[in-house]
Structure 1
Amino acid sequence: MKPNPIVGQGTPLHQWQASSHMAELPHISIEELVPAGHRAVIIAPHPDDEVLGCGGLLQGLASLGRPLQLISVTDGSASHPGSTRWPVARLGVIRPQESAQALHRLGVPLHSLIWLRAGFTDSKVAEREEELSAFIQRYLKPTDVVFTTWREDGHCDHEAVGRASAKAALAVGATLYELPVWTWHWATPEDSQVPWHRARKILLTPQAVARKRHAIHAFASQLEGDPQIGLAPVLAPFVVERLLQPFEVVFI
């Protein structure tokens, strides 16, 4: 097993902001990514990854009226190991509720959203990766455009979901795009481990960024740690700020 790269405070935001390499990434529009007549399928390892990775994209898809399907692979119940404030049973209920509130804040029409909860175990997705791929495949069509976490994102679930999604999309002939989420923490703008040659920027307006920020703040459980056991928040302020740049990146 490779070492966990999600430690410490990660790459400072100013390093991303000052990067000429990042500034020069080619742009792509939401209309180009998901043309008329196609459905967007967002596959999130945990409730919140759909907002962290593509909250701006989701706003654009909603405003364009594109059909949406969201697959939440786990209920995110392992985010606070050992906590009595945030035990597994409580998180399994609360985190999907937080996701629903966040999507509402983004303007995603929940009444028309197809939302599947796959019920896989948080932090152990890789153990059932083949089963997950088969599950995803059942709910995909050849005309779908799939967005999921990058296969090398640094979190074991993100990587397993990326691999399973890629296999399912290939099997049905759907289009696949990958999203960096924890990559912003451990990588640097010139990091050769990251496929920057495949990266495209979706530009976000200040209003879209503000709305994404409001949506992220629906995830109260992730913004809180548990001081009694020395557990820091998953979404510490420096993590949130890195995810609120005026663009989102997809690997094509």
Structure 2
Amino acid sequence: MTATTASPFSSYPIRLAATAAALGPTVVVAPHPDDESLGCGGLLALLREAGQPVWCVLVSDGTMSHPNSQAFPPAARQALREQELRDALSILGVESTALLTLQLPDSQVPLPDTPAGFAAVQQLQEFLREHQPATLLVPWRRDPHPDHRATSQLVAAALAGLPAAPQRLEYVVWAWERATPAEWPHPEEVVGWQLDIRSVLEQKQRAIAAHRSQLPGSPIQDDPTGFMLAPSMLAHFQAPTEVYLEAPHP
């Protein structure tokens, strides 16, 4: 049995779309441009539909998706992917000004115990103090991508330094395709549920499509080894639900 077919995600109970409004002002932390749309684009659209403020923190610079491109050197790749993120957020109803970019190195997001990681933690703390979100969306702590795991640790370190932490919801990206049983959530550590996003699914799909450099027909044509979201991966994010994991209540 493969990790995908055996994963627990599709068995989680489904909560109504109205659940989103109760989450209040929300910050989504995305390791790369596109994680926000893939993992929680539906929730972001529902939050904005309900009039809740939403902000986004982009952790990495996104430049390693096509590292061998000459037509798009690193600065151009970063600019392209950041603009794609802004376009996706706009589709989801999030204002372009509601974005903090940490510009950490793609594929090498540092941990909190490094100088660069410590500086990122300080930036995160300042951002959270300024906006006072009720909910924080962050990648699943064992999502099988090093940048996603590092992002989770940066966020945990930032929250540990705050007097009152927001509710933390973890979203799933690569665990759908690549997680081993050891990387799946354990019942004692989190409660898993699915959010009904049928009413905004078309919006989510348009936001994913805004990340055109990661899809067939990418404007970056001169790096045949560059990253592309595979159809099997995208299929998980065409579902009418999104998966969230939260700490169990005492």
Q: TM-score range by the shorter chain?
A: 0.7 to 0.9
**After the TM superposition, which residues 145-164 of structure 1 pair with which residues of structure 2 at under 5 Å, given as runs?**
145-164=135-154
Q: Per-residue deviation at 1:241?
A: 1.3
Specify the alignment match of 2:208 in structure 1. Answer: 216
Equivalent position to 2:12, from 25, 34, 45 = 25
Structure 2 unaligned blocks of 5 or more: none
Specify the alignment match of 2:233 in structure 1. Answer: 239
Distance 1:95 1:232, change over 3 A: closer
Classify the secondary structure of the residue corresponding to 1:126.
coil
Distance 1:143 1:78, change over 3 A: closer
Structure 1 unaligned blocks of 5 or more: 1-9
Distance 1:229 1:195, change over 3 A: same
Classify the secondary structure of the residue corresponding to 1:66.
coil
Work out the CA distance in 2 between the residues paired with 1:122 and 1:49.
Answer: 13
Specify the alignment match of 2:101 in structure 1. Answer: 117
Give me the CA root mean square deviation. 2.6
Q: Structure 2: which amino acid aligns with 1:103?
A: L
Q: Structure 2: which amino acid aligns with 1:210?
A: E
Equivalent position to 1:203, from 190, 193, 196 = 196
**After the TM superposition, which residues 1-252 of structure 1 pair with which residues of structure 2 at under 5 Å, given as runs?**
15=5, 22-29=9-16, 32=19, 35=22, 38-106=24-92, 108-110=93-95, 114-126=98-110, 128-141=116-129, 144-172=134-162, 173-187=165-179, 191-195=181-185, 197=187, 198-205=191-198, 207-224=199-216, 229-231=223-225, 233-252=227-246
Distance 1:81 1:240, change over 3 A: same
Distance 1:136 1:31, change over 3 A: farther
Q: Aligned residues, how many? A: 232
Classify the secondary structure of the residue corresponding to 1:178.
strand
Classify the secondary structure of the residue corresponding to 1:132.
helix
Work out the CA distance in 1 between the residues paired with 2:54 and 2:195.
Answer: 18
User: What TM-score, normalized to structure 1?
Assistant: 0.81
**Alignment identity in percent?**
30
User: What TM-score, normalized to structure 2?
Assistant: 0.81
Q: Any idea what the Cα deviations from partners look like across 1:120-157, whole Å, max 9, x if unmatched? A: 12111125333222211111146531101112111111
